[in-house]
Amino acid sequence: DAGVTQSPTHLIKTRGQQVTLRCSPKSGHDTVSWYQQALGQGPQFIFQYYEEEERQRGNFPDRFSGHQFPNYSSELNVNALLLGDSALYLCASSLAQGGSPLHFGNGTRLTVT
Amino acid sequence: EDQVTQSPEALRLQEGESSSLNCSYTVSGLRGLFWYRQDPGKGPEFLFTLYSAGEEKEKERLKATLTKKESFLHITAPKPEDSATYLCAVVFSGGYNKLIFGAGTRLAVHP
């Protein structure tokens, strides 16, 4: 049973560029959430997708956008990259009902130079 | 403001030396409290969900408990392979599955 898979594992971008990160959820899960984790910190909620719509959003600027496809996979897009966007980006999948445990992928390490 | 605080920030134990990690929270209408383990360069690995005060869950050397204000992760007779960062997170009513994480406790178990 495949868990949550993310690609790529590592990425280096230049300030001002745009990046797209991809996520395939755990089999049977229909909800995908994205988190940003800075070094030494807990993950911070970016947004959540359910039924191909953004259901909830954290305190992140509009430069962060996403998409969910009919097969439940998801993309995270970040425009106009800043040095401060360097972090581990985690995708998590779950069932739709509140309180269901989230299962995380191993993340994409983004470095902005 | 909804908040999760974990203590201590770091903990060093000798193999076999039992201890507890703390997670205190201030949220309106707790829907669930989650414990995760995170190894360096990896994503968080789900350990436990606790839903109501008084609930307890166990897995091998780990036991999680929940009160109305905090949760404890008890580690009994730890081994070096238990070394990791342990993260606590909460979901509140109306928050769907939005997890609010603490900063974690870095545990190092030495032989």
Q: Which residues contact A64 (CB under 8 A, 6 or more apart)?
A: A46, A47, A76, A77, A78
Mean predicted lDDT score pLDDT of chain A: 95
The distance of A106 to chain B (nearest Cα, Å) reads: 4
Task: Report in angstroms the alpha-carbon separations of A92 from A47, A107, B75, B103, B109.
Answer: 11, 9, 26, 18, 28
Q: Which of B41, B39, B47 is nearest to B23 (CA)?
A: B47
| Confidence at residue A100, expressed as pLDDT on a 0 to 100 scale | 82
| Res. B96: pLDDT tops 90 | no
**Class of residue B98 by CB neighbours under 10 A (exposed 0-12, middle 13-18, buried 19+):** buried
As given in the structure block, the two tokens for residue B106 are: 């870095």
User: Which tens digits make up the pLDDT trace of B18-76?
Assistant: 999 999 998 778 889 999 999 999 999 999 999 999 999 999 999 999 998 999 999 99
The distance of B78 to chain A (nearest Cα, Å) reads: 23
Note whether B43 contacts A4, CB cutoff 8 Å: yes
pLDDT band for position B95 (50/70/90)? low
The answer to whether A31 faces chain B, any CB pair under 8 Å, is yes
CA angle B22, B24, B26 (to 5 degrees): 170
Note whether A42 contacts B101, CB cutoff 8 Å: yes
The answer to whether A56 faces chain B, any CB pair under 8 Å, is yes
| Res. A1: pLDDT tops 70 | no
| Res. A80: pLDDT tops 70 | yes
| Res. A87: pLDDT tops 80 | yes
